[in-house]
Structure 1
């Protein structure tokens, strides 16, 4: 499982022109069953994604395809987590 942070970078001002592409990219991640959750880093520092059912190289390739990453709107950082315990509602993450 992975936690991805997308922190605003030098081209932050270009976010509005790439928002449709970024949202389509997010939708695809959810449709592919890779993204479990996405949201905004507060206070408006960027975003975060919880990802699973993927490998690190595949996730890196997926992130490179995000228009926000490709256009320097955000910088992506990945933290890999090996789940050890989970609430029963999240037990599927332990498999």
Structure 2
């Protein structure tokens, strides 16, 4: 499982100009089963996405497709973790440490 932390690197008006495309991209990732939750940080200086994929390289490919990335308005920090406990709704994403 991965935590994707976005940090805006441009003024909010530049971010907002790309927001419709970013939201469409988010919806596509949810439909494909990669994203579990997402939202803005408070204060609004970026966002957070909880994601799943087979490996980090796949996550990096997904992140590269974000219009925010292509538009140069944010950077991503990708943190991988082993989800050993979850709520029942996320049980299929539980992992056993190696």
Calculate the TM-score normalised by the size of structure 1: 0.89
1:11 positional shift = 5.2
Aligned residue pairs total: 95
Cross-structure match for 2:6: 6
Compute the RMSD of aligned alpha carbons: 1.5
Counterpart CA distance in 2 for 1:83 and 1:73 is 30
Q: 1:25-72 deviations in whole A, cap 9, x for unaligned? A: 000000000000001111111111000133211111111111111111
Cross-structure match for 2:20: 20
| Structure 1 residue matching 2:33: 3-state secondary structure | coil
Deviates most, 26-35 or 16-25 = 16-25
The answer as to 2:74 corresponding to 1:74 is yes
Gaps of 5+ in 2: none
Cross-structure match for 1:50: 50
